[in-house]
Amino acid sequence: MDTTQTFAQDSSAEQNIGAEEEIKQQGIYSASLQNIEMSDQVKLLVEQLDHLDKSYFGKDRHKLIKQKIDDITQLLDTKPIEFIQNKKEKADLLYLRGKALDYLPEYSKNAEDFLSKSIKLMPTKQEAWDALGHVYWKKRDLASARKCFEDAEQKKLNYKESIVLANKAVSLDLSDPQSWYVLGNAHLTNFFVNQGSTDELTQALKTYTQTERLQKEPNPDLYYNRATIYEYLERYNEAVRDYLRAHSIDPNLQADQRAEKIVNFVIQAYTLIQQKGRVKSNKLINMVKSVPTTLPHQVSFPTNEEQKQKIIYNVVATSQIEAGENSHVIVSAKVVCHLAKEQDVPMCFLVVDFKYNFSVVSIYHTNKSLTDIIKPGDEILIKNPQMIHTSLEFKGKLYNYQTLKVTDITNILINSAPLIAKYSEVQVITNTFV
């Protein structure tokens, strides 16, 4: 998915004579290519490959992309890497080989290996870090992807600058879908790299919608990227819709598998709630009896909010709160189990409150190590809980339940102790993407 390449390109109909025809006109053994260095030839071919990937969505799209990758690989094979002595040249060619392989619709282990070798030779090669981050993104290893994107503070500034450049491109031609698409990608990438506000995701969704209105040929990456945002925001019905739309356009993306995993997770959570967590009656009674209905005096949250002024919180059950943020209340519950899913963020747990209400708690800005901290039977207190209605319509059946969404883990106490004190590495944003 084209999520990190966010700089605008001119894609007007007058200048774009058609990617397929353009590629046919650009044989790799043309006289112009033979007159330049091999590394420069490869760079030119990768640029052509990038243009093809971004601008052509015909039925033979992947055939042409695969052909271009094969051309690049054959050219690189004429100069075996083990015979290259110059460190910079070797790093450049490894990068170009890995970069080219990443244009395959699926994750490529070879792309990861070549880019990793390039970085080992030249750790300051920023474009290699970018490309490797994109490979990890496709692998759904977003913790590693984020580390690549955060390699240097300057890179963060570059992503912010890409939004400025993309906005300028849009202003030059409001009817160009490619410029809108690039702008959406800029907002999406900036959110995950710079831990921006979810306003970035809202802006990305708006620009993707505009792209959809203007596009002449459906872009599968548009729907995949938008589905990634919906999945991160737990808007599962829309996420499944867009993943399946992406799959219908380009089955090679395997977006249907992403949709299937969301469906399985929602059905799993819904079924467990309907079956009261599959907890035996006596055990459930004892569990619910131990849920606090009042707030102990010694309990305090790790924020300055209460220090500035005295705030009185009411302890409530999930049935007593409304959709959206609920200020000055604390939900008190017991953890029933961890709800396993492929995506690390948000981490999800099934809980039960003192009125036998079962719901899901989703916790952001964490990773899988959270399951070593939060265990079944633990007491959980959530301050100012944000409640959302999770729903998914699938094969004529509606699955819905309450989810308590926690985007600030300083608002959680586990067994009366601040979660943030137990979980120090809170800056990991993983699978949804980014």
Domain containing residue 349: CATH number: 2.40.50.550
pLDDT at 235 over 80: yes
Residue 283 located in a structural domain: yes
Note every long-range contact of 35-39, with CB atoms under 8 Å and residues 24 or more positions apart, other chains counting.
Answer: 38/75, 38/78, 38/79, 39/89, 39/92, 39/93, 39/96
Residue 169 located in a structural domain: no
pLDDT at 310: 65
From 116, 151, 186, the end of a domain falls on 151
pLDDT at 143: 77
CA angle 68, 71, 75 (to 5 degrees): 145
**Residue numbers of the domain that contains 143:** 19-151
Residue 175 located in a structural domain: no
| Torsion angle defined by CA atoms of residues 160, 162, 163 and 166, in that order, rounded to the nearest 10 degrees | 170
Q: Is 83 exposed, middle or buried (0-12, 13-18, 19+ CB in 10 A)?
A: exposed
pLDDT at 83 over 60: yes
pLDDT at 57: 80
94 within 8 A of 72, measured Cβ to Cβ: no
Residue 139 located in a structural domain: yes
Residue 138 located in a structural domain: yes
- Residue 147 sits in the same domain as residue 282: no
User: Which of 353, 359, 347, 334 lies closest to 423, judged by CA?
Assistant: 347
From 104, 124, 151, the end of a domain falls on 151
111 within 8 A of 72, measured Cβ to Cβ: no
Q: Report the range of poorest mean pLDDT among 120-129, 149-158, 306-315, 349-358.
A: 149-158
CATH number at residue 142: 1.25.40.10
Span 119-171, pLDDT tens digits? 887 776 778 888 998 898 888 887 788 777 765 455 556 667 778 888 888 88
Q: Report the range of poorest mean pLDDT among 27-36, 323-332, 350-359.
A: 27-36
pLDDT at 409 over 60: yes
Q: Per the structure, how many domains does the chain have?
A: 2
Alpha-carbon distance of 254 to 239, in angstroms, equals 14
pLDDT at 304: 55
From 111, 130, 151, the end of a domain falls on 151
pLDDT at 427 over 70: no
CA within 13 Å, CB half, 427: 7
Q: Which residues sit opposite 353 in a β-bridge? A: 333
pLDDT at 429 over 70: no
pLDDT at 33 over 50: no
Q: What is the mean pLDDT of residues 91-107?
A: 91
309: pLDDT confidence band, cut at 50, 70 and 90? low
pTM for the whole thing?
A: 0.67
R_g of the chain computed on alpha carbons = 25
Residue 147 located in a structural domain: yes
Look at the chain and count its residues: 434
Q: Are strands 347-353 and 314-316 parallel, antiparallel or unpaired?
A: unpaired
Q: Are strands 329-339 and 347-353 parallel, antiparallel or unpaired?
A: antiparallel
pLDDT at 85: 74
pLDDT at 15: 37
Residue 158 located in a structural domain: no
Residue 144 located in a structural domain: yes
Can you read off the two tokens belonging to residue 219?
Answer: 């872009």
